[in-house]
Amino acid sequence: MTKKRIAIIGAGPAGLAAAYELSTNPNNEITLYEMSDVPGGMCKTIKLWDCLVDIGPHRFFSYNLRVNKLWLQAAQKDYKMVNRLTRIFYKNKFFFYPIAAFDALKKVGVFTAAICALSYLKEKIAPIKQDGSFKTWTISRFGKKLYTMFFKTYSEKLWGIKCSQLDDDFARQRIKKLSMSEVILNALKLKKNQHKTLADKFAYPKEGAGLIYRRMAEYIQNHNGKILYNTSVKKVIVENGVALGVEIEGRQRPRFFDEIISTMPFTDLIRQLPNLPAEIIAHLENLKYRNSIIVYLKVEGTKLFDDNWLYVHSPDLMMGRITNFRNWIPELYGKNKITILALEYWCNENDAFWNMPEQDIINTAKAEIQKSGLSKNYPIIDGYVYKVSRSYPTYHKGYKKDLKPLQNYLDSISNLQCIGRNGAFKYNNQDHSLLMGILAAENIKWGGGGYIKAA
C-alpha cells in the first residue's frame, strides 16, 4: 500500500496529538515541523536555576475519555494529583475563585457587600441591555459592582481593550455557567460546584507539563514519523483549492504531501495563500493576537503564599497572573531552598513594555512583586524573561463576523486542517488542543477536514 504523506506544522499539544494518533498506522509517513528546538509549544518545561518551570500554569484536567487516554499513555505513572488553590488578589487581599459569598463578605466589609447585593438585585429587576460585549454579559450575571471588582481589571489587562469592546464569547467560553445565584447556592452548600474549569484537583507530570510532549515526540519519532526542529514553515502551497505541500524558510524546494495539518497562527497561514479575495483580506486584518511576557523571579525564601497561581485584579499593578512553582510538586525544585515566581504581563507588538530591555522588564517585575507584598521581603536574587509572541487570540466584540468567513474560506481548501489555539484562533486549554489533534487525525483516517471545532 502506498504510504500517505502527512505534514504537521507545529509541535505543540495539538500538532503532537495529531502526529501521535496518526503514527500508530504504519501506512502513514509523518513529518512534523517545529520552529523551536524542543516540543510542547506553550506547554514546554524549561530548566531554570536548577529547578523546573513551565511557561505559566498548565494544569491538566479533562472530562473527555479520549483526551485522558492519550495523556495517560504519555504520562504513564509519572504524575501526581495536585490540590488546586487559585485565588484572586485584589486590594492586598485573597478572594476565592470562584467567588465564595461569605468569604467575600468578610473581606470587603458589610457596606461593600451590601452594594454588591443591591447591584445584583438591580440586574434581576431591570437588566442591562445586552450589546454582545463581555461587560454587559458579566454585569447581567453578577451585577455591576462585582463586575468592577472581580472581572473588569483582569480582563482588560489580558486583552488590552476595554471590556465594552471585548466579545461576550470570551465570557461564555471561560465563565460558562458560573453566576451569582450559583455562587450563593455553593456558599450555602445547596449545590455542588460543577463549573468545568474549576476542578479541585488536577494531574501534573513529575517533570513538568513538558514531560507529556517530550514523550509524545519520542513515540512519534519511533513510529513512522520525524520531527524537524528549528524549522519554520513559510507557507502552505495551495493550487486549485487543494493543499499540496509546504515551503520551508531558507529552502528553495517545496515539500509535497497528501495531507497537511497546521497549528501555525491562523492569520499567517491565510495571509500566504494565493489570490486572496479583497473581502478575505479585509476580514483578516481585523483579527489580532496578544503577546505574553513571563518574568521568572528567583526568591530566596520558601513560604510566600499557598496558591498554585493568583489572578491579579489590583488595578495599580501591571501584572495579571502569578504562578508559584513552589506550590505544585516537590519534584520541580528538589532540595533547592528558593521559590520561583512567574509574573505574567500581556502586550501588543508595538507596546513599549514588549520592546523594553530585558533588565528593565525584570526590574519592573521586582518592583511590582515587592509593592504587592507577596514576596514578603525575601531577597529577589535573579530574574529571567521569556517572551511568547501571539499567545492569545483576541476576542474583540463581533470578532466572529471576521472569523467565520475566514473559516469558510479554509474549509474550501481540501487536504488542509487548522487546529490548536493559534491555528484555529480559539482560546484553548491544553486538553482542548489535544482533542483537536485527535479529531484532525480521525478526519484523515475517515475522510474530512477543515476547521476543527473542539469544545
Q: Is the pLDDT of residue 307 over 90?
A: yes
Q: Is the pLDDT of residue 100 over 90?
A: no
Query: Could you tell me if 326 and 340 are in contact, meaning their C-beta atoms sit under 8 angstroms apart?
Result: yes
235 forms beta bridges with 247
79 forms beta bridges with 205
| CA distance to 10, 22, 63, 238, 433, per residue, from 69 (Å) | 22, 15, 11, 35, 14
4-13, 91-100, 387-396: which range is least confident on average? Answer: 91-100
Q: What is the pLDDT of residue 446?
A: 80
**110 pLDDT band (50/70/90 cuts)?**
confident
Angle, in degrees to the nearest 10, between helices 65-75 and 430-446: 100
| Numbered ranges of CATH 3.50.50.60 in the chain | 4-43+64-73+207-285+396-451
Return the percentage of the chain with pLDDT > 90, whole number. 83
Instruction: Indicate the residue type of 124.
Output: K
Across the range 353-358, mean pLDDT stands at: 97
Q: What is the pLDDT of residue 190?
A: 44
Q: What is the pLDDT of residue 176?
A: 60
The cell numbers describing 34, all together, are 517545529
Q: What is the pLDDT of residue 175?
A: 75
Q: What is the pLDDT of residue 178?
A: 57
Q: What is the pLDDT of residue 101?
A: 63
Q: What is the pLDDT of residue 109?
A: 85
CA atoms of 24 and 340, how far apart (whole Å): 39
Across the range 326-353, mean pLDDT stands at: 97
Cell numbers 502527512 correspond to 6
Query: Could you tell me if 304 and 326 are in contact, meaning their C-beta atoms sit under 8 angstroms apart?
Result: yes
Q: Is the pLDDT of residue 18 over 60?
A: yes
Strands (E), 10-77: 28-33, 45-48, 51-54
47-51, 185-189, 278-282: which range is least confident on average? Answer: 185-189
Pairing assessment for the beta strands 51-54 and 259-262 based on DSSP bridges: unpaired
CA atoms of 178 and 141, how far apart (whole Å): 8
Angle, in degrees to the nearest 10, between helices 278-285 and 399-411: 130
Q: What is the pLDDT of residues 358-387, one digit of tens each?
A: 999 999 999 999 999 999 999 999 999 999
384 forms beta bridges with 296
Across the range 395-407, mean pLDDT stands at: 96
User: 113 vs 281, which has greater pLDDT?
Assistant: 281
The cell numbers describing 181, all together, are 445565584
Q: Is the pLDDT of residue 3 over 90?
A: no
Closest CA to 369 of 397, 344, 392, 386: 344
Q: What is the pLDDT of residue 454?
A: 47
CA atoms of 403 and 248, how far apart (whole Å): 27
Q: Give SS3 for 143.
A: coil
322 forms beta bridges with 310, 343
The average confidence (pLDDT) of the chain is 91
> Could you say which DSSP state residue 349 is in?
T
Across the range 336-356, mean pLDDT stands at: 97
pTM given for the model: 0.92
Q: What is the pLDDT of residue 455?
A: 44
Q: What is the pLDDT of residues 290-306, one digit of tens each?
A: 999 999 999 999 999 99
Q: What is the pLDDT of residue 252?
A: 81
User: 414 vs 452, which has greater pLDDT?
Assistant: 414
Q: Give SS3 for 225.
A: strand
Fold of 4-43+64-73+207-285+396-451: FAD/NAD(P)-binding domain (3.50.50)
309 forms beta bridges with 86, 323
> Could you say which DSSP state residue 100 is in?
P
Q: Is the pLDDT of residue 352 over 50?
A: yes
